Amino acid sequence: MENDYQYQAGKLNKAPNKDEWGTTPSTVTAYYNPSLNEIVFPAGILQYPYFDLHADDAINYGGIGMVIGHELTHAFDDQGAQYDKDGNVKNWWTEEDYAKFKAKTQQLTERYDSFTVLDSIPLKGAMTIGENTADNGALYIAYEAFKLTKQGQDTSKIDGYTPNQRFCLSIARIWRVKTRDEFMRNYVTTNSHSPAIWRVNGSLMNFDPFYTAFNVQPGEKNYKAEEERIRIW
């Protein structure tokens, strides 16, 4: 702790080190730093199940493509939107555009407030809005990039699933986790990320290609009418 304190204190009154990472290379994570307007993808996340050199495009775009889109969108979430391209806290919006943006993020906040874990514990939509906004935008970024590939424009099935189905299934696969109930109770009250199940279902229910890929119909659990589907970016 003492060494770390001295290291951090040594940065005072000095220009920021733009080459410094906020994580280790082996950590499975990724982040966007608004002050430097940078995105970092350590080697730890550039592997299965997020990225597989030998996998089909649907799997990789639904995996690491989703992660990349997520970090890109952080530059335009409720916090990132307050920074300009040079990393300065500065209002670069028109009043009209920012009002529309706030209205859409409020819709997403209210949607996630309606989700629960362990049957009765509600999510905190306001606390998780940045991450939920990033997931919301990531779907379309990753999907639009996927559709530029040869496989994305094809309909050939692999293991019985179409490319669009595999894209959605890959999104679900990267969030396969199992937690204790005690951990989950604490997680929803302290973490800025939604629980894994809602990072998948909460995002896909706003994603039009998900409905056509799996023929999701009214009355089914994750169905939302077209006018209820929220798309911020």
Q: Which residues are catalytic?
A: 71, 135
Give the residue among 50, 207, 200, 194 at the shortest CA–CA distance from 130: 194
- Given a contact cutoff of 8 angstroms between Cβ atoms, the answer to whether 136 and 203 are in contact is yes
130, β-bridge pairs: none
DSSP three-state, residue 106? helix
Longest dimension (CA), the chain: 59
Q: CB 85: neighbour CB atoms within 10 A? A: 9
Q: Which of 231, 131, 126 is nearest to 189 (CA)?
A: 126
Whether 115 contacts 202, CB under 8 Å: yes
- Cβ–Cβ under 8 Å, residues 81 and 93: yes
Contact between residue 202 and residue 132 where contact means Cβ atoms under 8 Å apart: yes
Locate 155 and state its tokens.
């309909």
**∠ CA(66), CA(72), CA(78), 5° rounding?**
110
Q: Residues 217, 223: contact at Cβ < 8 Å?
A: yes
